[in-house]
Structures are given as C-alpha cells and as structure tokens.
Chain A
Amino acid sequence: MERVTTLAAAVRAPLSTERRYVAAGTFVVIGLINIVVFGMLAHAGDAGFKLSQQGSGVQIPTIRVPAASVCYVLGAAAIALGIARATMPFSRLGKRLAIASALLCFLLSLLCWADAGQIPLNLINLGQNTIVQSIPLILGALAGLLCERSGVINIAIEGQLLFGAFTAAIVASAFGGLWIGLVAGSLAGGLVGLVLAVLAITFLMDQIVLGVVLNVLALGMTNYLYDRLMSQNPNYNTGAAFGAIKIPGLAEIPVIGPIFFDSNIFLYITYAALIAIQVALFHSRWGLRVRAVGEHPAAADTVGIRVLRIRYRNVILGGLIAGIGGAFLTIGSVGIFNQDISSGFGYIALAALIFGRWTPLGSLAAALLFGFCLELALVLPTVNPVLPAPIMDMAPYVATIVAVAGLVGKVRAPKADGQPYVKS
C-alpha cells in the first residue's frame, strides 16, 4: 500500500511542487504589469469613478485618484503578495483570497490606466452591467454543475441556452405573455437536458460527443426555424422583455442597492437557484447522494441510492436552469432573438464551472469575473477612445488564461464525471 501511495505521489509530483512557485511568479508578473504597463504608460491626470447614478436619492461625490500612483501601489501590493506566497504557507482559504486580491489589483490598475485623464467612469453602471453579463454564465454554470456533480458531463450548456432563448422569444411573442415565455424557455432547456440524459445514461453515448452534437443541433434548429418563421413573420419575434423590479428598501442602499437589488426577475431567480443549490448540495441528504453518485456510483448503488434516477433528475433539472439562462438572453435583456444569440456563453459558462472547481460559489466567482471582463471590453473603448477596441476585447480572455494557467492550475473533476454507470 505504501508503495502505491509513493508511486501515486511520484506520478502527481511535477504539478504539485511547482504550483507554489508558478502562483507566486504569476502574482509578481501581475504586479510588474501593473507598474510597468499601467503605471508608467498611464496618461497624466486623475482617474475618476462615480459611485451613484443620476437621479438616485443619495449622491456620493465622485472619487478622483492619481492614476499612475495607484497603479504603482497596487503593483507593489501584488508583488508583496507573490513574495509572501512563495515563502509562507497559505491555507486553502488564504490561497483563494490571495488569487482574488491579485486579480482585483490587476483589474483596478486596468481601470485607473484606462480612465486616466478621461471623464469619470460610473462604477454603478459597470456593476449593474457586469451582473447582466453574468446571469446567463451563472445559470449555465449551475446547470453544468448539477449534471457534472452527478457524473454526467454537460457540454450542451450552449445548446440549452440557445434553445431556451429561441423558445422563450417565440412563445412570449406568439402568446403575448412574458411569463409563459420564461416557462417555455426553461422547458426547452429541460428538453435538451432530457435528450442528453436519455442518450448519455440509457444509451451510454460518449458524453463529450453528445454535448458537442446537441450544440450543433440546437444551432442548426434555431437557425433553420429563425429563417423559416421569425425572419418572415416579425410577430414571432416582437422583442418584449421583462422590466426591472426594485426591491423596496434594499434598492435604496447606496452603491449596493442599484447593483444587486434593481434588476429584472432573472437576477432574483439566479439568487434563489444559487442559494438553493449551494445549500442543498452540501447540507442535505439529496446533495450527499448526488455527490456520492458523481464520485463513486458503484458505492452509492451498494448503499441503495438509485444512481440512474439521480442522474436523470439532475440532468433534466440542469437543463431547466440553463433554459432560464437562455430565456434571459432574449426576454430578459434585448428581447429580440438573433441567430446564434448565445454566441459562446455556454462555453464560457463551462469554463467558469471548471475554473470554479465544480462548486456553486467558485462558479459564481468565476462567472462574475468573466462577466466583468466582458462588460469591461464593451465599456473601455467608450471611456478612452485612444485604446484600440479589439485589444481591449482581448483582455478578459487573456486574464482568464493567466488566471487558469498561473493561479489555479490543475483542477479535479468529480471522479465519475463522464462515465456511464452500468449495473453489473
């Protein structure tokens, strides 16, 4: 037995010993970028940040900071963090907080650099739109989480979002009701989930192949039906969308209120789904069973857990949640359905799920980071027209690669993820 463990350690060795120095090195690199790129190249002048929207009750004065100096300070902080990471032992929580702080330093420096000498940037709008960008990512990642925690790989998040978006738009337009559109969108995602479940669990199909194929099918179907129905008949694509709901009291809190409590129903559904899944997965009998099935289905079966039933239920439930995320893309934001409206959100949600290590809160953090970067790419060119827009668009993806390669490294999926279970 001892021999086996030493062998296992030897097999795993190359990644675990390097990790500490790779992470530390990445922190230092982030710090140097803050200082050299953002600090030294920042235009002279202050960066301004507004913390309240026009017309809201409480007005907070605009914050002005000297851009270059802030970049230097943040850069020094990131380098200090890197040195600490290399020389001191960090707890699990400490490591994650260190990653979050380093990324925060990077993003704040980026903001200061972009806004130096320009009109102030409204952080409240930035926050609101970050949430808007993140909702489909969070719901998609939660859908993937439910599937993968029970041992079924879900690459079809993209297809579930797309089909949900299409169905929600066409049903809401045809029946003139947004709520029925929301339900229909969710059911459409669930339908894709059902197909995934039947083919993956009962017909033992390769789950990665299946996911990719379902995405192709959803894209083909929606493109075909769009050409056939929507583009010829605008009544099927009216563009109606949910309005914002202010939570009384909470929405009045400065800064936090407008960002977190002044959005449409989808944000509140997202909160509910997130809390429900986090609590249920780690603090309920159902969650324990799901995790057991995802890690070791044979053992779960031995103690009387119905493996296939749990997998079916989770995959369909995941589809329903992704369908809501899809509905958000049409009736929750722009209203109009366009071909390939999900445009890779499902794959980014998948990346958020992996980045977040298959946990609800981790996925949430990753999805918010991606959402923030997507929003930043839209906002920065308008703040500072000197910057070439495509290069700014690149930033979130580069940041993700840096984060995944430098900070997170190898992740471990649920052990039975992707393996069909056949009772022997």
Chain B
Amino acid sequence: MRRLIALVSSLLVLSFPAQAAEVTTHTLDNGMEIVVIEDTRAPVVVHMVWYRVGSADEPEGVSGIAHFLEHLMFKATDTLESGELSRTVAANGGSDNAFTSYDYTAYFQRVASDRLELMMEMEASRMDGLRLVPEDIPTERDVVIEERNQRTENSPGALFGEQRRAAQFLHHPYGIPIIGWKHEAHNLSLEDANAFYEAHYAPNNAILVVAGDADPAEVIAMAEEHYGALPPNPEIGPRDRVDEPPQLAERRLVMEDPRVAQPYVIRTYLAPERDPGDQRRAAALTLLAEILGGTGATSVLGEKLQFETRTSIYTSAFYRGLSLDDTTFGLVIVPAEGVRLEEAEAALDAAVAEFLEEGVDPDQLDRIKMQLRASLIYESDNIQSLARRYGAALTSGLTVDDVEAWPDILQEVTAEEIVNAGRSVFDRTRSVTGWLRAPSSGPMVEATQ
C-alpha cells in the first residue's frame, strides 16, 4: 500500500464531521425562507432559489408560461447582461440550471463554496430586476418549441401521458402539461412573461436552499445582505386553484401510434397528497406503491404477473406524494408477447384485488422499512438531492417539520393502514385507464435507404 498526495494533502485535508448534514432554517423580514444544509465533506456548495409558482399557477390560455419564463430568466437584468449569469457561473468553474414543475420553479448553481456570495448577488438581481426585451422572445420561444418536440412530440409515450393527465384532471390545472400545449406555446409573448414574473417573483414567494460546505450563520448573514433588501410583493396571497369536480365516471382512453413497438396499460387513480401535519395516509400510499410495484422480483405485481402467471414482462406502481393539490396513484402493466391489453388489464385488476384480500406480507414490509432507514444513510452522501427534497417539499405546501417527520411516519405505518389506503384509492369511478398501442397493422418501420 502506498499513499500519494503527501505533497499537497497538508493544505487540502478535509475535516470529516461525525455526522454529515445539519439543517438550519431562518426567515428574512421580507418573508424569504432560508434552509441551510451543512455538509463540509467537499468544498462545494449548491445554491438554489425555489419559487412557490409552477405551471399549475398559470392563467388560462398561456400554458407553458411558467416554463418559458424560467428560460427567459437567463436574459438581462438591471445588473447583468443577457447570458452573463451563466457565463459568470462557468467562469467560476460552476454549473447552473433551472427546472419547472406543476407546483414550483427553481434555479440553482453548483460552485466552489467560496463563490457562494457571487451566486446570491446574481440570483437576487433576477428576483427583482429582470429586464426582458422584445428580441428575447422569438428565438427562445423556438428553443422551447424544440424542447417540446424533443420531450413530447417525438415520443408516443409522452404524448400518451399528456392525454391521460388531461383526462384525469378535467378542471384542475394539473391536467395541462408543464411545457404547455403546443398551440399555445407558439403565441407566448413578452407581456405574458412580464405579467407572470411581476405576479409571482418576489422574496415572500421564494425559498433559499443552500447545501454543502457553508456555515449557516454566514449564509444567513449573506442572504440578509443580498436578498434582505428586496421588497416583498404584498399582493402575493395563498395559492388558490380551482377544485376538481367530483369524478363520477371511470374514464378510458385508447391511443394508437405507429411508433409504439411495445403496447401497455396505465391506470391512474386520484389520490390524496402529503399535507402539512397530516402525512399519514400519503405515507401509507408511498409504502403501497413500493409493495405493489417496487422491485419486479419482490413486489406483489411482479410476483403475481411476471413470475406466477407470466402475463407481463414489466409491472410498476407509482405515487407522487409531494404535490400541492390532489395527486395520482398509478399502476402499469406491460403484457407478455401474445397477451392482449384487455387480458393484461384484467390480470392487473385481479392481482390488486387479491392483494387487498391477502393483505401485506409482513416480511416484505420489514424489508421495505429497512431499505427506507438505509436510504437516509445513502442519501446523506448526495447533498444536492437533500437540497431538492427540502425545496420541493416547501413549495408543495409542507414545512421543514413535515420533511423531518416523514421518515418516522413511514416507519410507523401499519399493514392495515396500507391496505385501507389501497381500498380507499382503488375506486374505478375515480380512475383513468389508458391503452397505448400501434394501429392494428403493427409498427411501421421504413427501410433504411
């Protein structure tokens, strides 16, 4: 054995704390919330600003404006030229990006920890001082249209997903795609972007998450200086979205696309999300998804449909508890060759019905809980995913206390609660069933020239 790096290690040796991540919170006078997750193992910091606004907060007729504005946020501000923020991050060896979801929009940079203040300075500038000009619009709009082409139009599975969501949410904006409907994306304007920015971007609608090699007290002092001076927008009130009317009839879709080589069935049900101080049912549904569709070889659907009857080559279950409003619980079955979609769907329903009769295998529940405990250890190795967890939770209506209570709630949930959660959610009148397949002539593949 030999050890190298003796040459420089005296300068660079890291101190490893006994535990990796410490979480500190604070709120500035202007309403901006701060979460600091300290982990000094590497001299790296992730700086994120999350806004409590997403595509589900868009006005009618301008679908995609939340995401389009996210693109435009890299243009000029009072103090930055167009593109200067990303150029500066790169010049400092960092990387930056942004993302938009139904309930949030977030901007982040990943840099050496001694560059944190520069990031705050720039991020504060675009919270308050974005200065869009007409020339910004047409080119960036084309980029977004190409993004939609790449993510959605070129993929029958993605188009199918849009159709299913639109069927699931008749009235609530979760039925509208984050990237926007194609026909509306072509018409998004400078005025639309500015109006959305003015209405939603302000410190009292933002959460700062800093994770990595950063001292909490210093981060808070720095935030006070750069974000603390920005005025809050008093018109920003609680997020009030339209309610979905009660679903009284099962909804079914069949989509055919010649690009589909492997047909499948997806069923979704309306389901409750994680609510502040009330996460127990969501925890049961989280475990239910893991039990039904976690790993093929050990999950209920995998055992019954892939191993026992061999009706299917792949099964899955999914549930997204982090959501401001009602969410969905989903089941997937990809039939084995020669199995028709109606047979696959019937087998899926039979398997779920059997499970509700048989109840939870206690050994399986123990294994899942063991893995959840271990995931707390594994996840502390990835500071960026921890940062995202807090940001996503706080913009989805939860508090830091809810985030910290969640692992214990998952451990407490009983087998009975899991089955009951399944019984209450698996109601066909609150479901959407989608079949995706090629037209009966089969997939059309043209020969190569």
Q: Are these two chains actual partners, yes or no?
A: no
A-to-B contact residues, CB < 8 Å: none
B-to-A contact residues, CB < 8 Å: none
